[in-house]
Amino acid sequence: MASEPHVTLSGDIVGEYIVKDRRPNGELTLVPDTYPVVVPEYDGRPATAEEFAAFEAEYGPFLPADGEG
């Protein structure tokens, strides 16, 4: 699967755009890149902080956070 070309505009119009069409004369068709659009759909609900800690006690601890994200 190849991703579509992506451009960043600056000037009168600013933002991230996806190139949907590219003609031989150089004309481009752009649409705004609104990624991410799709919201994941999963069963159940997020674990609470208490449940998160309880699962660490049950399954073993996760590795510590590294500040990156």
Partner 1 sequence: MPGASRPGAHFRVDFDDATFAEDLEHTSSDTGRELAQRERDNLTAEGLPPDQLKRCDTEARDGTSLLGCVKIYIPRPDGTWGMVFQLRIASDRRPFLACLAFGTRHPTSPGALSVYQIAHQRIHGQPPRR
What residues have CB less than 8 Å from 31, skipping those under 6 apart?
17, 18, 20
Query: What is the nearest approach in angstroms of partner 1 to the Cβ of residue 27?
Result: 22
Query: What is the nearest approach in angstroms of partner 1 to the Cβ of residue 63?
Result: 4
Q: What is the Cα–Cα distance from 19 to 33, expressed in whole angstroms?
A: 9
Q: Which residues bind partner 1 (CB under 8 A)?
A: 1, 3-4, 6, 8, 15-16, 33, 35-49, 51-52, 54-69
Query: What is the nearest approach in angstroms of partner 1 to the Cβ of residue 13?
Result: 13
